[in-house]
Structure 1
Amino acid sequence: MSRIDPLRGRLVRRDLLKITGAAAGAAALGPFTGHGVLPSETAFARQDAASTIVFGVGTDVDALDPRTTDTQEGYIACANIYDCLVLYDLGATTIRPGLAESWEISEDGLEYTFNLRQGVSFHDGAPFNAEAVVTWYNSFVEGAPDSQYDVAQMPYVQDFITSWIDSVEAVDEYTFRMMLPKPYSPLLANLAIPIAGVISPTAIAGGLEALAVNPSGTGAFRLARAEDWTRDSQMVLEANPDYWGGAPKVQQFILKVVPEGSTRLQQVETGELDVAWALTPEDVERARENPDLVIVEDAGLNTNNVEFNVTKEPFTSKEVRQALNYAVNKQELSEGLYNGNMVPAGGVLPPVDWAFNPDLQSYPYDPDKALELLTAAGYDEANPLTFTLMAYTIPRGYNPVGDRLATAIQEYWAEVGVQAEIQTGEWTQYRADRREGKFQCSLSGWQGDNGDPDNFLYALLGGDSKGNGNNAFYENPEVDALLADAVAVSDQEERKTIYQEAEQLIVDDAPWTFLGYQKHQVVTRANITDFQLQPTYIYYFAGVSKT
């Protein structure tokens, strides 16, 4: 199998990256000129009120039931409407008290006793106590009294919570106990994820359909009226003046849907938005030039990849999967498509994860090695490797350029004779089809939920996670055994060694093309104070103010 002219292929690809970058930059310009912003109707619709913060997102929240929400936008909303038993420290993944003031863990790691805050009420007036916690927990446990568990609507509660807990019982009015079948070190980190937001028992009794649009938590903000949520437009949340953590600094927190990243940039520049999320690298660089804006950025707890369904041809072949990894120039991809804001990936875990392995043996750019492996797998010019690459179109935190990434990857693979046809899908249906195993190959990615390496390695590539987070349908018994060992160990250094061994096995099996880790970047108006990035992308707004 001969290689396509490398100079020609490289020029095509670089031109492509420049063209797609220029297109995004031009789109970002919109009504701008060299002399600044031209007057427009939107410029006069400014959100200047110091009592309101408007947060721009690319797509609408899916549901306000934390058990069923399945989008980052939903997590952001739920993180401000509900509280968890424990919360993340601001700007970190370490744990602080939430609705539980304190807790004790037994020496064998099988019993967690939580002491709850007193005097807290849900937004609907129901009291928060140990019985409310038991009702909430039972609502998503299969077979429990009054359970509402639905595997299709609650895709993550088993993986993150109920699989690791045998039972929950009230000890007294403000104390309850969790019993575990075996030690599980990430439990507290999992209980801080927004899906573990504690829900009013009255709201639970109303059923799944009602709760999705009529939430009741104990959080800093609340949806006061159903009409305050206009689908695909905006959601207006009101401050909870009785919030146990202190009344929020603003009266309203609005999530406004602005599908185009370039439009989000324009609106944060004109003041229609106070905070803009999921902007393209070009938009972020433009924002740096505006003294009225601030770029809040840090290393990202995420991963960006192409996912191979290892149960479908041609991706049952390890040689094919490895070849496609060697064919991608990740450094060039970062510089050309992401303005250098993607750290090229060696494996699954990002550099900010405490189990990151700088010595991981991975896939440097080597198109000759890719050709060698493709030939070994039986593919050549007479029998080229062909398949469909599915792509989403909307920006994500781990990939703010959407389906432009698919076009760039297609070019790299074409250079070694691979014919990948790109098809795009609507985001909600796209995600559902991936879980059902309908795709051969698809763009994928992940933004960490809890800061624990288990949340990447087990959630995305553990055998028990197939069809949930693991949409490569990858399974390696040796990997699964190591992941099981890691969560039973309390010593972090010992866990780190185990995770690094598991990750090396995963990388060797190549269920993904490992691409990179996107820098975490949010643009705010300069008059927004105390906004902090959360590594888990869930942003607490209770302490954020506007001057």
Structure 2
Amino acid sequence: MRIARPRAAKMFAAVLAIGLIATGCASERDDDENGSGDDSQPFVFGAAGDPASLDPSLASDGETFRVTRQAFEALIEHEPGGTELVGGLAETWESNEAGTEWTFNLHDGVTFHDGAELTAEVVCANYDRWYNWSGTYQNTTISYYWQTVFGGFAQNESEETPDPNYVGCTAQDDLTAVIEVAEPSANYPGGFSLQAFAIHSPNALEAYAEEEASGEGENITFPGYSQEAGTVAGTGPFEITEWNKGNGEVSLTRFDDYWGDTAGVEELVIRTIPEEDARRQALQAGDIQGYDLVAPADVATLEGDGFQVPVRDVFNILYLGITQDSNEALAEPEVRQALAHAMDRENIVNTQLPEGGVVASQFMPDTVAGYSDDVTTYEYDPERAQQLLADAGAENLTLDFCYPTEVTRPYMPAPADIYELLKADLEAVGITVNPVPLKWNPDYTETTRDGGCNIYLLGWTGDFNDGFNFLGTWFASYMKEWGFENEELFDLMAQAETEPDEATRVALYEDINEMVMDFLPGVPISSSPPSIAFSADVNPPTVSPLTQENFAEVSFK
């Protein structure tokens, strides 16, 4: 996911959005595959980075959500292996015609890890907690998703904080929660599926209130309860029992009172192994039974050795970000066009991405409704790039180029290698490149978000299937990481966000894609199908284009 912004995923206003009955995300494998293994053997999975918090409400990164998704559940979830919304803790849901009132009919008999029962009052207590956040909690480092989906707070403490769209939550009865918003949005109902809005035990909420986040800007300290196991409590098939930060390892234990199908293994361990080669070697040695973000060059080798390497569907974008107000030359359209023409993106796809990767023509993959076939494209043409730089008087352009270290992402399997290729392309047309390597979390994410780079590499894996989930992430309003004002674009984004008719909204997304690629605030590079690997002795989970694998589906053969 990128540092992300969420948005919507279905029809929502004039048409009632009725949820499907939840399946509990259980594996549908045959019994002869599922039942013969040793469920007491731990399943160990190699992740590319540490989680930031055990409380998903405070996070915006995929490595945190990979862990918390096993222990916490939201009102709505996604179907295993797909992007369709299905029931989560809510068996069904619907909206009023205006798209401003969302009614959730909860499953009966759902128990939290600490023994508390799920009720509508508990759901409302969670949403009201987020709405009433104050102090450090209003910093986007902690409340990014809340501010993106529901706006600001009961009492905003900064002029930069958006107006709140959340109005309130009412428990109509024990199992019926009604959430009201001021304006309809393409963020709903998809936003209700986000891990950031997973539901916590009422006992845990009371304990959370006793510890506060602190700090400002780049010096945020997360509350103590979120940094060690023992306090957080959800409803998921696993409960978090230990976080050994020194060894980069989170341990989760099967929750036998889970309301759905119980997990196929007793213990799940998610171990941080930042280097891809080290993850592969750990799998080959039998130290782990699975890992994510397999290097494209390793796929054939692993498959030849009998490992399972399923490939997810494409649902992401890698792009070169440009902070226009960080360098006056970057505010010139000709300079941004020169950057686009200088980049051999086909070479990146062919040498750095798994089979199925494609050059991106716009800021969403073609698997999302709203993709346009009529955008302006920028072919690899170094001579054209040099001419554009000359026309703009920028022949001696020098740029700080930020790229992340100690990380691989679904859209960016080898950041340093991709950076080196692009650096060579830019230098070939006369641009001087100053490398700025930064550790991914928190240095890189915060520096890029605060507009601290001239150009940088970032991307996005969608949260749910709506065009606003991509376009709204970047272009709904002024953002420091882009450093531009474009009121025509912002107004069109606002129109699309509140458009109740799905067909009309999709047409607006197409118009926005065309406008964006004419304006060229950054350069879309590629979309790729990230691979994930498992040992031969496990029944793996259904792989998800959203990278939302449910490890309760795992069992040993």
Q: Is the TM-score greater than 0.5?
A: yes
Mapping for residues 249-288 of structure 1, pairs under 5 Å: 249-288=264-303
**Post-superposition offset of 1:258:** 1.2
Retained in 2: the 8 A contact 1:341–1:518? Answer: yes
**Pairs within 5 Å for 1:112-261:** 112-142=102-132, 149-162=138-151, 163-207=164-208, 209-212=223-226, 213=228, 214-224=231-241, 226=242, 228-261=243-276
Runs of 4+ in 1 over 3 A off after TM superposition: 47-51, 146-152, 161-164, 228-232
CA distance in 2 between partners of 1:379 and 1:53 (Å):
55
1:445 is aligned to 2:459: yes
SS at match of 1:298: coil
- Is 1:328–2:347 an aligned residue pair? no
Question: Partner of 2:23 in structure 1?
Answer: none
Question: Match for 1:509 among 509, 519, 526?
Answer: 519
Aligned counterpart in structure 2 of residue 71 of structure 1, from 48, 61, 64: 61
Determine the C-alpha separation between the residues in 1 that align with 2:320 and 2:59.
Answer: 24
Do structure 1's residue 524 and structure 2's residue 534 form an aligned pair?
yes
The one-letter code sitting in structure 2 at the alignment partner of 1:297 is: V
Partner Cα distance (2:137, 2:527) in 1 = 37
Structure 1 gaps, min length 5: 1-46
SS at match of 1:460: helix
| Residues 307-346 of structure 1: pairs in structure 2 closer than 5 A | 307-313=321-327, 314-338=329-353, 340-346=355-361
1:536 is the counterpart of 2:536: no
Between 117-126 and 322-331, report the one with greater CA deviation.
Answer: 117-126
Whether the 8 Å CA contact 1:141–1:147 is kept in 2: the answer is: no
Residue from 389, 395, 398 that aligns with 2:411 = 398
The CA distance in 2 between the partners of 1:289 and 1:475, in whole Å, is: 52
Cα distance change on mapping 1:408 and 1:258 into 2, 3 Å: same
Task: Determine the C-alpha separation between the residues in 2 that align with 1:410 and 1:340.
Answer: 24
Corresponding residue of 1:433: 447
1:499 aligns with 2:516: no
| One-letter amino acid of the counterpart of residue 458, structure 2 | S
User: Does structure 1 retain, via aligned residues, the 8 Å contact 2:374–2:514?
Assistant: no
1:388/1:272 CA distance change after superposition, 3 Å? same
Counterpart residue number, 1:421: 434
Return the alpha-carbon distance in structure 2 between the equivalents of residues 456 and 444 of structure 1: 13
- Mapped pair 1:370 → 2:385: yes
Decide whether the 8 Å contact of 1:116 with 1:130 is kept in 2: yes
Question: TM-score, normalising length from structure 1?
Answer: 0.85
Q: Which moved more, 1:269-278 or 1:281-290?
A: 281-290
Residue in 2 aligned with 1:385? 397
Q: 1:456 aligns with which of 463, 466, 470?
A: 470
Contact 1:531 1:541 in 2 (8 A): yes
C-alpha deviation, 1:48, in angstroms: 8.2
Partners of 2:44 and 2:289 within 8 A in 1:
yes
The one-letter code matched in structure 2 to 1:352 is T
Measured after TM superposition, the shift of residue 211 of structure 1 is: 3.5
- Name the residue aligned to 2:9: none
Cα deviation per residue 1:442-482 (whole Å; 9 max; x = unaligned)? 11111111122111101122216x25xxx223442222222
Q: Is the 8 A contact 2:264 2:555 kept in 1?
A: yes
Matched residue, 2:73: 83
Secondary structure of the 1:423 match is strand
2: CA distance, partners of 1:531 / 1:156: 27
- Unaligned stretches of 5+ in structure 2? 1-36, 152-163, 213-222
Aligned to 1:58: 48
Distance in 2 between residues matched to 1:206 and 1:142, nearest whole Å? 16
Per the TM alignment, residue 185 of structure 1 is displaced from its structure 2 partner at its CA by: 3.5
What are the Cα deviations for residues 208-265 of structure 1, in whole angstroms up to 9, with x where unaligned? Answer: 51441332111111113x4x53444211100111111121111111101112111111
Question: Among residues 304, 310, 332, which one is paired with 1:296 in the alignment?
Answer: 310
Paired with 1:460 and 1:231, the residues of 2 have a C-alpha distance of 35
In 2: Cα distance, 1:446 partner to 1:417 partner: 30
Q: State TM-score, norm by structure 2.
A: 0.84
Deviations 1:47-76 (A, max 9, x none): 986642211012111111111123211011
Does the residue aligned with 1:96 lie in a helix, a strand or coil?
strand
The AA in structure 1 aligned to 2:523 is T
- In the TM superposition, residue 160 of structure 1 has moved relative to its aligned partner by 2.1
**Cα deviation digits, residues 250-306 of structure 1 (max 9, x gap):** 111110111211111112122221111022222223223222x11111332111111
1:335-388: CA deviation from partner (whole Å, max 9, x where unpaired)? 1233655310111011222222233222111222212211111023xxx11111
Query: Take 2:330 and 2:451, find their aligned partners in 1: how far apart are those partners?
Result: 13
Distance 2:44 2:265 in 1: 11
Determine the C-alpha separation between the residues in 2 that align with 1:168 and 1:249.
36
